[in-house]
Homo-oligomer: A and B are copies of this chain.
Amino acid sequence: MFIEIEADSTVPIYLQLAQQVIEGVAKGELKPGDSLPSVRAFAADLGMNMHTVNKAYHYLEEKEFIQIVSKKGVFIHERSVREATEKDTDRLKKELRPMISEALCLNLSTDELQALLNDIVRDIKEGTR
């Protein structure tokens, strides 16, 4: 998969990396059970600090997007793609709420918000940045 890091973003690099792995899963480019490079190999490949890759991996592990199996490797988690539980949608609602508030302050109508959402889904699926 192709990882693109914005050096001047306010989003920390480890988080950009983690988010792009999640996008890879969302697009179906990465599938449960697929293996990811070791921290060392990924860092060398991306020209990044190993600490940064390590931090991204721990973030992804905590969110059950990857599983780190000692001496075996790093794998896309079996639970990375699944049907949403009520707990999942409750968490998503909570996380989305502050941004939706900001959108409402910008006078976006429900239709405009839905159009924005459709744009984002399309960008993710097409890999457009």
Listed in ascending order, the chain A residues whose CB lies under 8 Å from chain B are 19, 22-23, 25-27, 63, 65, 80-84, 88-89, 92-93, 95-108, 110, 112-114, 116-121, 123-124
- Ordered by A's residue number, 16 sampled pairs between the chains whose C-beta atoms are within 8 Å are A22-B98, A25-B101, A63-B102, A80-B105, A82-B105, A84-B103, A84-B106, A89-B106, A92-B99, A96-B116, A97-B124, A99-B99, A100-B120, A100-B124, A104-B124, A117-B117
Having A26-B101, A81-B106, one finds 17 other A-B pairs with CB under 8 Å, namely: A22-B105, A26-B102, A26-B104, A82-B105, A82-B106, A83-B106, A89-B116, A92-B102, A92-B103, A93-B116, A95-B99, A96-B116, A97-B120, A97-B124, A101-B124, A114-B117, A117-B117
Question: Quick one: copies of this chain in the complex?
Answer: 2
What are the 5 A-B residue pairs with the smallest beta carbon separation, nearest first?
Answer: A84-B106, A26-B104, A26-B101, A19-B98, A23-B101
Report the minimum CB–CB distance from A58 to chain B (whole Å).
15
Report the minimum CB–CB distance from A93 to chain B (whole Å).
6
